[in-house]
Structures are given as structure tokens and as C-alpha cells.
């Protein structure tokens, strides 16, 4: 109730034309506040993580709330079917993939590697994200045992599973191979430190972290989940099934063994980013949704 009152007071003070929410908490609390003032509502649906009973219940409430929105924007086509089955009206669903600005600052490889203390000759695996169950970092930790040649891994981020992941790495004898730098403010600019970027998730929408790896021109190994196959195909990355350490390790080995092919895929992924995930078209798409929502509200009044 305190959050609802706070959001409602902010809406009264600022008189927004539209309230745009992200995530199950704001989709419920923010939407209720906006509805109490008859303000149009737009939400971006970034994905569903499942997990425990509490989280699944929250997501069920979230999807039910979508029915009262003026526009619902899933970031991947894979999510559209779930929204339809949940009773969200086709007329308010607008799929728009995430985007990043390809002109963002990217540190040179040698500078980025110094930030992580990586030697020139070390083959470095990069992972960036929230250390929670759905991100599947435990699968990557297990895969490190199966990689055929020595590697260094840099796991950037933090989250509720970090402690258990560090314990898992230690129990498998992998502790000395992994750096845990925690939250790194400018992580997206440092991706060229890595010889391969790995996404090990069990579920995803259109992950920004993959777009950042595509922008940096780093070879990618990713699990074939959620919207990932909509972003990349086998000409642009190596895609494997989730929760399979042996497949993840084999793909990492392939990047190392066939460097020219890996670099070719990375170049193709960068071209795909510029073609399909440009920030300019993303802005235009959202602008069109906002204008349509406001026009529909005007016609109904």
C-alpha cells in the first residue's frame, strides 16, 4: 500500500500521459496506481523465470493484470503465445525486441583484459548477469571441468546464488580458474576481454547481455532458450541445449579450436545486431505504440 500510494502521488504530481511498467511488481502496483487515475498503461514483458511457488504465483498475477493494460510488449516472439493462452487480447500485444546502441563505447582488448588481470596467453571465458537459478551458471561451472585445455573464467555480477556457486566451484576444484569481480559498473564496455562469451540460461527473453556481446564482436556460445534463437542462428553463434555441461564445454572447445570460424560468426552477429536490433527502430516502435494508445483513449472518451 505504501508503494501504491507513492506511485499514485507521483502520478498526481507529474500528470504523465502514459505509465510504462517493467516486471511483475510494477505491473501490479504501478498499474493499479495508474488505473485509479485513469492513466493509460503500457508494459514491457522481459520474460518469465518460473522457479518456486511464490514466484510462479507472482507471475500468474502479473499475466492476469496484463488484460487490463492498453498495450503489452513482449520482447520476443516466444512470449507471444504464452500471453495469448493467458487471455491477453491480440489487439494489445505488440512484440518489440530489445535493442542496444551499436555506437556504445567498447574498451580495446588489452585494456579490458588488464581490468580483469588476464594474461595475453590465457583463454578467457566471460559470463555476465544476475546469479540466480534461471541463469544456469551452475551448468557453466560444471562445464569448466570438461573443457579440454586450461581456461580462465570471469563471472561478472552478483545475486542470491553466488555463495552456492562459489562453493560448487571449490568442490569441483575449479575455484582457481574463476574470477568473481562482483558488480562491474561498465561491464558492457569490457566484453573484448573475453575470447568467448557464454550465456548458460534456462530461460530468457531477448537478453541485453547477448546484444552487448554481439556489439563487442566476441564469439558467443549460448543456450537455445526463449528468444535466443530469434536473435542468433548457427551462422552467428554456437547454440546448445540448456542444462547440459558437456554440450557447453564442447562448444567452448570448438571456439578455441576453430578461431577463424568463431571470428566469422562474431562478425555476422555484429551485422545482425546493426540490422535487426538497432536502437533507432526500437525507439520508433515504442513511439508508435504510445501514440496509438493515446489515440485509442481519445476515441473512447
Give the domains, in start order, of the chain with CATH numbers: 2-99+279-300 (3.40.50.2000), 109-276 (3.40.50.2000)
Q: What angle do CA 244, 246, 250 make, to 5 degrees?
A: 120
| Segment among 59-63, 88-92, 188-192, 199-203 with least mean pLDDT | 59-63
Element (H, E) at 181: strand 178-182
The C-alpha cell at 285 is 516502435
DSSP state letter for 153: E
pLDDT at position 301, please? 63
Q: What is the pTM of this model?
A: 0.88
CA dist., res. 180 & res. 159, Å (int): 12
CA dist., res. 166 & res. 192, Å (int): 24
CA dist., res. 57 & res. 52, Å (int): 9
8 Å CB contact between 155 and 180: yes
- Tell me the average pLDDT across 89-108: 92
- How does the average pLDDT of the chain come out, rounded? 94
Instruction: Judge whether residue 162 has pLDDT over 90.
Output: yes
What is the torsional sign of CA 113, 249, 255, 130?
A: negative
Closest CA to 48 of 261, 204, 252: 204
CA dist., res. 43 & res. 21, Å (int): 5
Amino acid at each position: 500500500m505504501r508503494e501504491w500510494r507513492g506511485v499514485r502521488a507521483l502520478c498526481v504530481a507529474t500528470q504523465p500521459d502514459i505509465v510504462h511498467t517493467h516486471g511483475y511488481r510494477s505491473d501490479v502496483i504501478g498499474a493499479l496506481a495508474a488505473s485509479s487515475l485513469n492513466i493509460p498503461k503500457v508494459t514491457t514483458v522481459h520474460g518469465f523465470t518460473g522457479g518456486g511457488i511464490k514466484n510462479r504465483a507472482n507471475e500468474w498475477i502479473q499475466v492476469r493484470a496484463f488484460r487490463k493494460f492498453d498495450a503489452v510488449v513482449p520482447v520476443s516472439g516466444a512470449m507471444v503465445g504464452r500471453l495469448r493462452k493467458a487471455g491477453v487480447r491480440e489487439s494489445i500485444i505488440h512484440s518489440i525486441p530489445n535493442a542496444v546502441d551499436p555506437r556504445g563505447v567498447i574498451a580495446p582488448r588489452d585494456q579490458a583484459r588488464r581490468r580483469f588481470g588476464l594474461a595475453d596467453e590465457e583463454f578467457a571465458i566471460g559470463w555476465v548477469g544476475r546469479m540466480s537459478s534461471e541463469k544456469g551458471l551452475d551448468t557453466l561451472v560444471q562445464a569448466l571441468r570438461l573443457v579440454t585445455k586450461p581456461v580462465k573464467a570471469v563471472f561478472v555480477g552478483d545475486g542470491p546464488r553466488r555463495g552456492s556457486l562459489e562453493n560448487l566451484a571449490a568442490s569441483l576444484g575449479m575455484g582457481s580458474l574463476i574470477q568473481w569481480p562482483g558488480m562491474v559498473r561498465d561491464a558492457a564496455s569490457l566484453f573484448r576481454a573475453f575470447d568467448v562469451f557464454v550465456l548458460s540460461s534456462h530461460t530468457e527473453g531477448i537478453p541485453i547481455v547477448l546484444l552487448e556481446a554481439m556489439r563487442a564482436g566476441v564469439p558467443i556460445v549460448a543456450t537455445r532458450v526463449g528468444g535466443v534463437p530469434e536473435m542468433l542462428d548457427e551462422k552467428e553463434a554456437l547454440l546448445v541445449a540448456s542444462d547440459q555441461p558437456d554440450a557447453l564445454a564442447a562448444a567452448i572447445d570448438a571456439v578455441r579450436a576453430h578461431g577463424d570460424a568463431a571470428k566469422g560468426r562474431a562478425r555476422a552477429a555484429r551485422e545482425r545486431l546493426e540490422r535487426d536490433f538497432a536502437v533507432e527502430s526500437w525507439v520508433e516502435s515504442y513511439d508508435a505504440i504510445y501514440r496509438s494508445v493515446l489515440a485509442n483513449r481519445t476515441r473512447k472518451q
